[in-house]
Amino acid sequence: MELLHTIILTVHIIAGLSVIGFVLLQHGKGADMGAAFGSGASGSLFGATGSANFLSRVTAVLAAVFFLTSLGLSYIATSRPTVSGSVMDSAPAQTVPAVPAQTTPTSDSKSKDIPK
């Protein structure tokens, strides 16, 4: 179970960082006006609209992977076996030291001096 947790956590982190990267690569709404006048559209790999579709689809797939790994991690965290019983069941047993036997007062003790 620990190996599965590690794999899902690794995919989760990679998907999260990839979503951040692809969102930052996408153009904002204001960039479409600049692309209409030819600034940067000719130099793009996918053309003027091809990059927006590709990046938005990759971002959507990575967001779905991130969501699914989040659900998987939460399921693994809550499905661990719980131990029933009290906390005191797992506490170590304590031994009580033996009380020494009391001695009877002798004539030379100072117990006679104690007022009753």
State the residue range of the domain holding 19: 1-25+44-80
**Whether 51 contacts 44, CB under 8 Å:** yes
The pLDDT of residue 74: 94
The pLDDT of residue 33: 60
Task: Read off the pLDDT of each residue in 8-17 and give the average, rounded to a whole number.
Answer: 96
Residue at 109 is within a domain: no
The helix/strand/coil state of 29 is coil
How do residues 74-91 score in pLDDT, each as one tens digit? 999 888 776 666 777 777
Residue at 73 is within a domain: yes
- Mean of the per-residue pLDDT values of the chain: 78
Statement: residue 38 has pLDDT above 70: no
Residue at 103 is within a domain: no
DSSP one-letter string for 37-90: TTSSSTT-SSHHHHHHHHHHHHHHHHHHHHHHHHHHHHHHHH-SPPPPS-GGGG
The pLDDT of residue 98: 74
The pLDDT of residue 97: 76
Q: How confident is the model at residue 7 (pLDDT cuts 50, 70, 90)?
A: very high
Residue at 111 is within a domain: no
Please tell me the total count of domains within the chain. 1
Residue at 11 is within a domain: yes
**Whether 8 contacts 75, CB under 8 Å:** no
Show the CA angle centred on residue 41, arms to residues 51 and 59, nearest 5°: 15
Residue at 114 is within a domain: no
